[in-house]
Homo-oligomer: A and B are copies of this chain.
């Protein structure tokens, strides 16, 4: 998502007209129309969601819609559906993806997950992971603490996909050269406040059965580069790439 740096202070009227040089990019390149929302960064870094009111021949009239106080939060909500990995890898995943701006984490029992959580273990594990998320959020000065959602089976996860704007499966078996651009293309189409679910598998990956059933529900699959990444590295890669795309 493109941020536009506006060389003025925040207008007291809460309205602003934009001409050259941003006009060309907003209208001709990004093809925005009335009603669309953009992010404007004013002097001193004050950041607002603005809504386009009217597109004229050389200017765009906008009004400020919402002040983004939390400039440390990503402009999209990212949830990680993480197939239960072995050992304490989930601790690392929760800590690092929290630092990297994740919104929530959805653990699920993938077909190839060796680890199982019974009810008692789940309660304990989720408490522990929630504490890790809390500490990592504080350490990285976030204003949102990611929620560790209740464990789902792989089939129950399927029923949750509809509540997300986009679902991306990080799938190494699909990692052929022509599919390496899928993730970048997806991020380029996303809008402010969109909800993205990223599904990563346990050691051994997702089963073909799982991937097919998610794709039938509208998910898309793609790779995270040409190298084989470990279970715990794929979520970190995805989150760093999202920050790089939306925040740098």
**Which of A51-59, A77-85, A135-143 lies at the binding interface?**
A135-143
Contact (Cβ within 8 A) A233 B96: yes
Contact (Cβ within 8 A) A240 B248: no
What are 12 A-B contacts with C-beta separation under 8 Å? A45-B178, A47-B177, A100-B225, A100-B227, A100-B233, A141-B227, A183-B248, A236-B236, A237-B244, A240-B240, A241-B244, A241-B248
The copy count of this chain in the complex is 2
Contact (Cβ within 8 A) B248 A142: no
Q: A interface vs B, CB < 8 Å?
A: 5, 41, 45, 47, 71-72, 96, 99-101, 139-142, 176-178, 180-181, 183-184, 224-230, 233, 236-237, 240-241, 243-245, 247-248
**Which residues on B sit within 8 Å (CB–CB) of A228?**
99, 139-141
Query: Among the interface residues A96, A141, A236, A248, which one has the most CB atoms of the partner chain B within 10 A?
Result: A248
Given contacts A177-B71, A236-B236, whether A230 and B5 have CB atoms under 8 Å apart is no
**Which residues on B sit within 8 Å (CB–CB) of A245?**
244
**Which residues on B sit within 8 Å (CB–CB) of A141?**
227-228
CA distance A139 to B126 in the complex (A): 30
CA distance A96 to B229 in the complex (A): 9
Nearest-CB residue, chain B, relative to A232: B96
Q: Apart from A45-B178, A142-B227, A241-B244, what 6 extra A-B contacts exist at CB < 8 Å?
A: A41-B177, A99-B228, A140-B229, A240-B240, A241-B241, A241-B243
CA distance A183 to B247 in the complex (A): 11
Contact (Cβ within 8 A) B139 A226: no
**Which residues on B sit within 8 Å (CB–CB) of A227?**
72, 99-101, 140-142, 243
**Which residues on B sit within 8 Å (CB–CB) of A99?**
227-230, 233
**Which residues on B sit within 8 Å (CB–CB) of A225?**
100-101, 243-244, 247-248
**Which residues on B sit within 8 Å (CB–CB) of A240?**
236-237, 240-241, 244
**Which residues on B sit within 8 Å (CB–CB) of A72?**
226-227
Contact (Cβ within 8 A) B45 A176: yes
CA distance A240 to B96 in the complex (A): 13
